[in-house]
Amino acid sequence: MPVAGGTPLSLADIAARLGGDVLGDAETQIRQVATLASAGAGEIGFLTNLKYRSQLATTRASAVIVAPDFADAVDLPRIVSKNPYAYYARLATLLNPRPAMAAGVHPSACCASEVPASASIGPQVTIGARVSLGEGVVLHAGCVLGDDVVIGAGSILYPNVSIYAGCEIGSNVILHSGVVIGADGFGFAPDQGQWIKIPQIGRVIIGDNVEIGASTTVDRGALDDTVIGDGSKIDNQIQIGHNCQIGKHCVIAACAAVAGSVTLQDNVIIGGAAMIAGHVTIASGAVISGGSLVMKNITKPGQYTSVFPLEEHGNWLHNAAQIRHLARLAERVTELEKKLKNTNVEG
């Protein structure tokens, strides 16, 4: 069951804070958001996917959030917004504020740097030398900050986040449990059958309002810094290699792997389990479908997919076998076209 919301707000109160137009009883009280299917009294549902439109007629929600095109599709009290999904997100945040953390340093924390009085430092946290923490920073249990780390105001690190020496985290950043920022990039030079480690002397620089999911790793640069731009959102269990340049407001879904020296320009979307080869640049506004492999530069926006469609195994084997012969088939077609052209000229 969803967690109960806090103090109820009327639709009028909600619209005063978040905008939108109220139709119906503006004094309807809302304590929580919910799906159309699961909502009950005191809850507000939302329609963002047209396949759920029929649920408007059966929902038990006290109110709904709809786009202008559906303002007359339901008789319930409603808030009309051009972007119901974004409105739902803002309303969910309003009704479910993050629990306030008490300021102070837990007795078991080990701090080699000064900590602002407004910061909250949990049990077994380790803070290195010359670390700079902004106002209101929250470090949950077991976080480790190396020397010379910078973390901006309002950022939250959940349990067991590790920030290696010299890395910089912006303001209002959220790093979930197990995130590792600034581990060595995968750099080794071959020498007579052995691998010689290349020191990774760059940093990781993370902008403001970035969120990184649990157990994701961002490697430090070999020479230049690895950079993640303002507003980017990175899901769980993702690898971002050394020297990558991630632009502003990019989205990378779970289990994607981004090899070293990749550049994602602003507003790139990477689907889950996609793989981006090293030294590739992806243009602003490009969308990479989940599971795709990107081996070359993408120079213009649009959606790109390299997934082989799912089918019955025997058919897949047959088609895969034909793919192996495509190069030879292309050569034969070219030869036939040349012969046909010569025949037409002679005739």
* Residue 3 in domain: no
Residue 146 lies in a domain: yes
Residue 22 lies in a domain: yes
* Residue 71 resides in a domain: yes
Residue 275: which H helix or E strand, with range? strand 275-276
Domain containing 143 equals 104-304
Is 317 part of any domain? Answer: yes
183 and 59, same domain (yes or no): no
If asked whether residues 210 and 270 sit together in one domain, one would say yes
- Which of 106, 140, 176, 242 is an active site residue? 242
The pLDDT score that the predictor gives to residue 310 is: 85
Burial group, residue 346, by CB count within 10 angstroms (0-12, 13-18, 19+): exposed
Dihedral sign (CA 25, 31, 36, 40): negative
Q: Check residue 1 and give its pLDDT.
A: 41
Does one domain contain both 112 and 254? Answer: yes
Low-confidence residues of the chain, pLDDT below 70? Answer: 1-6, 345-347
Whether residues 137 and 69 share a domain: the answer is no
Task: Identify whether residues 258 and 285 lie together within a single domain.
Answer: yes
Q: What are phi and psi of 187, to 5 degrees?
A: -125, 115
Q: What is the number of other CB atoms lying within 10 angstroms of the CB of residue 135? A: 13
Q: Are residues 285 and 159 in the same domain?
A: yes
What is the model's pLDDT at position 308?
81
> What does the pLDDT read at residue 192?
97
In a domain, 20, yes or no: yes
Whether residues 79 and 137 fall in one domain: no
Task: Check whether residue 210 and residue 335 sit in a common domain.
Answer: no
Q: Please give the order of strands across the beta sheet that includes 239-240.
A: 110-111, 126-127, 144-145, 162-163, 180-183, 217-219, 239-240, 257-258, 275-276, 293-294
Number of structural domains (the chain) is: 3
Residue 3, pLDDT score: 45
Please give the mean pLDDT across all residues of the chain.
95
Q: For residue 76, give the CATH number of its domain.
A: 3.40.1390.10
Whether residues 108 and 158 share a domain: the answer is yes
48 Cβ contact partners less than 8 Å away, ≥ 6 residues apart: 84, 85, 88
Does the annotation count 242 as an active-site position? yes
Residues 242 and 136 in one domain: yes
Final residue in a domain of this structure, among 53, 74, 95? 95
Task: Give residue-wise pLDDT tens across range 54-102.
Answer: 999 999 999 999 999 999 999 999 999 999 999 999 999 999 998 889 9
